[in-house]
Amino acid sequence: MRLLQIIDEIKTLKTQPTHKSTMDICRLLDNNKRLFIEKIDSDNFNHLYTNFEKLSQASAKDYNTPGYIRDYEQAHSILSFYVDRII
């Protein structure tokens, strides 16, 4: 049940500003790694986490650039694919 609550929270974060959403998703993935690894292959999870970790460490001047937004949208789409498979 906890994993489904986390997935719901991830889905609602899409409406937040891009960098805040990135930071929150990265935190959720990091704090709940064990739960996700039970449902998603560890290599796929690590790839997802690494994408959000890189985005969360970006410079503040990059937050609103087209490249950052594109990378966020791509990472979020991949994450959505995996969480939809869990549900």
Distances (CA, A) of 46 to 18, 28, 33, 73, 79: 21, 13, 9, 18, 11
Q: Where are the domains of the chain?
A: 2-86
Q: Give 27-78 pLDDT, tens digit per residue.
A: 999 999 999 999 999 999 999 999 999 999 999 999 999 999 999 999 999 9
Token pair for 43: 């290599």
Half-sphere exposure for 78 (CA within 13 Å, toward CB): 16
**How far apart are alpha carbons 23 and 40 in whole angstroms?**
21
**How far apart are alpha carbons 60 and 11 in whole angstroms?**
24
pLDDT value at 1 more than 70: no
